[in-house]
Amino acid sequence: MENEALRYEGDTTTEVGEGLDFILRNLQLNEYLRESARAAELVQSQVGMVHTGTNRGVKQSRVLAVLNTARRPAILVEMGFSTNPADARLLISHKSQQSLATAIADAIVEYLLEYERKTGDGSAGGKGR
């Protein structure tokens, strides 16, 4: 009778381990979100110099699987709407495509160099242009 309550407590070592795993996964996910936001800001800034359309800013989404399931920083870049005549002209122009691609690449290199400086990790691969 005295130890009757123990059967309701369960295995506390498992619960602590699962709780710790949850906390560590959550911390890692938050770090990915912060890094994703920084990469997106850099891309937005670079693309904004080339793309004359409306700047809709950087947003985070927990709905898109491509962003949610990534186990590293991830961004989605939207260049415009193909149904918008001005956007469509920009998107089909080879010169604009090249300018947009260069802006994105420059932003990614900038992000990698920034990450390398922050972490002191030379494996980010950024060599600049």
Give pLDDT tens digits along the chain (129 positions). 555 555 555 554 445 557 888 787 777 777 888 888 899 999 999 999 998 788 888 888 777 877 777 778 889 998 888 899 988 998 999 999 999 999 999 999 999 999 999 888 766 554 544
d(CA 117, CA 61): 28
- Given a contact cutoff of 8 angstroms between Cβ atoms, the answer to whether 78 and 53 are in contact is no
Largest CA distance in the chain: 82
Q: For residue 37, what are its two tokens?
A: 């936001």
* Total Cβ atoms within 10 A of residue 31: 12
3-class state of residue 35 by DSSP: helix
Tell which residue, 76, 53, 54, 52, has the closest CA to residue 63.
76
Q: What is the pTM of this model?
A: 0.71
Burial of residue 120 (number of CB atoms within 10 Å: 0-12, 13-18, 19+): exposed
Dist. CA 28–CA 8, nearest whole Å:
32
Q: Closest Cα to residue 110, out of 92, 91, 126?
A: 126
